[in-house]
Amino acid sequence: LSYNLKDAIIHPDLFGNRTPLIYIINKYLNPFFGEFEKYRTSVFFFSLLGPIFLFKILKIKFSEVDNKILFFVSSFVYLSPYYRTSAYWGLNENYGIISGIISLYLIETFIRSEKKNILKLILVLFFSSITVYFDLKLLIIPLYCFYKIIKLDININFKITSIILYFLFSLPYLYLIYIWQGLVPPLTQLENPNTVTSYKDIKNIY
């Protein structure tokens, strides 16, 4: 909130295990970002989206099952202390979880659509890519989507487009890695010496 985007990214006090995308989105799109209690409320309501999209995925995968059962199964997410705590306290974890769930929903709709649409493909690539920007651990999501796309019996142009767009969507994070000299901001690297998040610690990858 106090700095422009470029200065904030290279600021020595920047700390976190994720890219600044969450803060960028909230700064420019969330009018409650500067008021903690209202911000918590906004994250809480945003977190309600997770089980909604999970329900949509279950409906695609298990179309023969009653909607009431699928609704209750998808609602189990609300019982997760991890998910619930992040929603209640306005933490960052649910951004990645929700974008990951949306990615899985989009890839399923793309796979099952009779007429393959380039816009649907772009949405899959975009949401699965930003999932990594929200949480590096969720790299499994774009890898899974990419695998499903490559395995599909579709026009080769869709596969080439996927490779090109995934590369383009990765460029901002590759730039961050370059200026941070690691996967996370320098301060985070310093405070977590036992993790392999910086260039100089790559020798400890084992």
What is residue 100's predicted lDDT score, i.e. its pLDDT? 97
Q: Is the pLDDT of residue 204 over 80?
A: no
| pLDDT tens for each residue of 55-90 | 999 999 999 999 999 999 999 998 999 999 999 999
Residues 6 or more apart in contact with residue 110 via CB below 8 angstroms: 116, 117, 120, 121, 124, 149
What is the C-alpha separation between 146 and 158, in angstroms, rounded? 11
How wide is the angle at C-alpha 38 spanned by C-alphas 36 and 44, nearest 5°? 105
Per-residue pLDDT averaged across 31-45, rounded?
94
In terms of Cα–Cα distance, which of 197, 148, 146 is closest to 176? Answer: 197
How does pLDDT run across 104-152, given as a tens digit for each residue?
999 999 999 988 889 999 999 999 999 999 999 999 999 999 999 999 9
Residue 70 is encoded by which pair of tokens? Answer: 């699928």
Q: What is the mean pLDDT of the chain?
A: 93
